[in-house]
Amino acid sequence: MCGSGGGGGTPPPDPGAEARKKQALEREQAEATELKEKQYEERVASVYGRRGRRSLLSGSKGGSGFELDRGLMSKNTLGA
C-alpha cells in the first residue's frame, strides 16, 4: 500500500551551478567585447586607409631612392 506515490520531488539545486553559469556568462561577454573592439578597429583602419599593403613604387614617396640606368628604361617596361 504505497498510497499516493508522488515521486521524490525535484532534487535540490547544485550550489556550484549558479556560479558556473555566472562565470560562463562573464566569459562570453568578455569575448563579445573583445570581438566588437577588434571589428571596430578594422573598420576604422579601412576608413582611414591604414590597412593593406603599400606599394613601394606607386606611393607618394615611392621610388625616390631608386635610380635606374638610362639603358634599362623603356616605355614597355615602365622604367625597369
Question: For residue 25, which amino acid is it?
Answer: L
The residue ranges of every structural domain in the chain are 17-48
Strand spans (E) along 1-80: none
Cα–Cα distance between 78 and 72 in angstroms, integer? 10
Q: Is 63 exposed, middle or buried (0-12, 13-18, 19+ CB in 10 A)?
A: middle
Kindly tell me if the per-residue pLDDT of 80 is higher than 60: no
pLDDT in tens, 10-29: 888 887 888 899 999 999 99
Q: What is the pLDDT of residues 24-71, one digit of tens each?
A: 999 999 999 999 999 988 888 777 766 556 666 666 655 565 566 666
Contact (CB, 8 A) for 50 and 41 = no
Widest CA span of the chain, in angstroms? 112
**For residue 13, which amino acid is it?**
P
